[in-house]
Amino acid sequence: MLRYFLLSGAFALTMATATAQKKFVNPVDTAIHVMDKQPENYLLPVKALEGGRPDTSDLLGYNYWLQAAMTYESFLGDYEKALFYADARYGNRPPTGKIVCDTAFVKTHSLVNASDYIIAQARQKQVVMINEAHHLPFHRAFVLPMLKRFYDAGYRYLAIETLGDSTINQKTYPDYQTGYYTHEPLFGELIREALRLHFKLIKYESEAQCDGKGKDSQYCNRFRDSMMAVNLSKIIKTAPNAKILVYAGYDHIHEGSENGWKKMAQFFKGFTGIDPFTVEMTRQVEHLYPQHNAGEFNAVNILKHITAPVIAIQNNQPWHGDFVDATVIFPKYIKMGKRPYFYSVGGMRKRYDLAEINVKNGDYIQAFYTNEKPGNRIPADQLVAGEGERCLYLFKGNYTIEVKDSAGSLLRKSVVAIR
């Protein structure tokens, strides 16, 4: 299985230096090791990480651990904890500073539905590149309903950074071997939908290792992005008119750079002559603490009360951050005591009340499709029952609902049909 855990170039270089001086245990490797033994038990890696938490005085090790913790909490379905660990990278204490709200932004821009705008642009483009933050499942919830619209616009290739399974197109559903971030349930649903629509899924991450011969800190980052672009370019060489949707992480879709790290989108444009439509989704998102939110995000959510992702328009042009063509502004999803409504995937998934199966605090509940073979399944949805809302969100279909204890051992299961 191909595994990914991304660090910034500077951080990775510093970590490598620290590792040379002191043996460093990668927390992701620790989590993967325990989950490899029980792929359907998402509690194990979380507990393993909790047991190996470094002291905050170990700045490098602690930040690396936070990235692992926010990733595995997102896999488990604890959105608030994922945000908590993500925000902890800004400091060990809750911020007390001013909440920035760019009111002028709202006055000078109109807001349009992001999905509609992106699809309208996609009809005119050959390649669309969209990025995600790997700890935010709502990015997958946003893209999933768009897949049918991309397909109707002529797109037949879906290139996904996290894919690690070269046989995925011969399967009807994802499993533990499909990739790394695809372990997250909404990512699993995105893969299922793509396969159902008959997209050809493309694995474009290079397995070649950087030789490390470059003299600057961005050498290996450029190597990785260049190889990603090489692999994507092969599609164009085989099918010159192919329309491709590329789903990537963070800055790989950037069409420019200020620090010498030439990105995948830049390389791709140079290799093919195709100018991709690039969509940024990682900047205008909520944090647990609003002091960390962008001023535009706060203004749009506070003053316009959006409930679906939007793109801001001024003079008929989309507002965007550096090096991209459009930036999506997301709603606030945190509502204390309630599961974030993005799990409903825009209302496409129905709410299943867990009161029907009498769960209690601490129970670990997973919903699996009945037609998927046990052992390596990706849950359709899951949670650990607490004091808040106890429900799952599920597409129409037949499921096995498994109730497990705090160690992940099966207590009971039942088959339910969502209609």
Whether the Cβ atoms of residue 298 and residue 304 lie closer than 8 Å to each other: no
For residue 15, is pLDDT > 50?
no
| Mean pLDDT score, 225-253 | 98
For residue 7, is pLDDT > 90?
no
Q: How far is CA 140 from CA 25, 233, 301, 328, 371, in A?
A: 30, 24, 21, 13, 23
For residue 285, is pLDDT > 80?
yes
For residue 169, is pLDDT > 70?
yes
| Mean pLDDT score, 391-411 | 97
Specify the pLDDT at position 247: 98
For residue 176, is pLDDT > 50?
yes
Stated as kind and residue range, the H or E segment containing 384 is: strand 381-384
pLDDT tier at 23 (50, 70, 90 boundaries)? low
CA distance 3 to 202: 16
For residue 50, is pLDDT > 80?
yes
Specify the pLDDT at position 14: 41
* pLDDT tens profile 134-151: 999 999 999 999 999 999
CB atoms within 10 A of CB 3: 12
> Which of these, 329, 333, 390, lies nearest to 83 by C-alpha position?
333
Name residue 60's beta-bridge partners. Answer: none
| Mean pLDDT score, 111-129 | 98
**Overall pTM surpassing 0.75 (yes/no):** yes
What lies within 8 Å, CB to CB, of 311 at 6+ separation is 111, 112, 113, 114, 117, 118, 318, 319, 326, 327, 328, 329
| Per-domain residue ranges of the chain | 9-90, 103-329, 349-418
| Mean pLDDT score, 354-374 | 96
Name residue 132's beta-bridge partners. Answer: 249
Q: Which residue has the higher pLDDT, 335 or 15?
A: 335
| Mean pLDDT score, 152-170 | 96
pLDDT tier at 22 (50, 70, 90 boundaries)? low
Q: Among the listed ranges 103-107, 142-146, 332-336, which one has the minimum average pLDDT value? A: 332-336
For residue 20, is pLDDT > 70?
no
> Which of these, 358, 335, 345, 361, lies nearest to 394 by C-alpha position?
345
**pLDDT averaged over the chain?**
94
Work out the percent of the chain whose per-residue pLDDT is above 90. Answer: 90
Is 103-329 CATH 1.10.287?
A: no
